[in-house]
A and B are shown apart, each in its own frame.
Chain A
Amino acid sequence: DAKTTQPPSMDCAEGRAANLPCNHSTISGNEYVYWYRQIHSQGPQYIIHGLKNNETNEMASLIITEDRKSSTLILPHATLRDTAVYYCIVRPYNAGNMLTFGGGTRLMVKP
């Protein structure tokens, strides 16, 4: 499975966009990029996923570079409630079942 690298922590001002990077330089052509977040030991919350095209939903946008070796999760207007650990996970096609969580990025949104 492709490994992901994320910064351990980031800060963001409330109301500003939070841009969370993820490197996945060994990603294969059929592997999806997933983002989850975990707010204070609650269950991981699914945010968004994509294969090669940029994706947007009500929570966030996912920008995947053309070579697919990195991606950025964008929270367009961060609020205090977005303070959480954000996990970038690369999931193979025909993934079977497990999600492999790394250490993630701890995002602190500050007033």
Chain B
Amino acid sequence: EPEVTQTPSHQVTQMGQEVILRCVPISNHLYFYWYRQILGQKVEFLVSFYNNEISEKSEIFDDQFSVERPDGSNFTLKIRSTKLEDSAMYFCASSDGTFSNQPQHFGDGTRLSIL
């Protein structure tokens, strides 16, 4: 069964450094998403992306965050200057549409630890 893959599984970064989290969505999907989950808290939506543009973003997704689809297979989340509070699990998801009968499928996440 096709799946969303994320790399690395764990990333340790010094505060203030830039970090790039990578995702390979399911191959025929056109809509891509990032979510995060701080330890012990709920899964929170960050951003969605379609046709090389951000289609929706949450308040969490401020100017420190950016997303990109650099080629036909990868989807990346960049955090420019990491803060301690960016420590979380980051999940990528993809779907073949945005209508409510089209489910999003998630990867297993990248654990980001900011020191």
Contact = CB atoms under 8 A, between A and B. Distances in A.
Interface in B29-63: 31, 33, 35, 37, 42-45, 48, 55-56, 58
B48 A97 contact: yes
Interface residue range, chain B: 20 to 34
B107 A103 contact: no
B101 interface: yes
B100 A98 contact: no
B99 A46 contact: no
A102 B100 CA distance: 18
Interface residue range, chain A: 20 to 34
Contacts of A97: 31, 33, 45, 48, 55-56, 98
Nearest to A104: B42
Contacts of B104: 46, 99
Contact of A92 (B31, B42, B58, B100): B100
Interface of A: 30-32, 34, 38, 41-46, 49, 51, 87, 91-103
Interface of B: 4, 6, 31, 33, 35, 37, 42-45, 48, 55-56, 58, 89, 91, 93, 98-101, 103-109
23 contacts: A31-B100, A41-B89, A42-B108, A42-B109, A43-B4, A43-B6, A43-B91, A43-B108, A44-B93, A44-B106, A46-B105, A49-B103, A51-B101, A94-B100, A96-B48, A96-B55, A97-B33, A97-B45, A98-B45, A98-B56, A99-B43, A100-B45, A101-B42
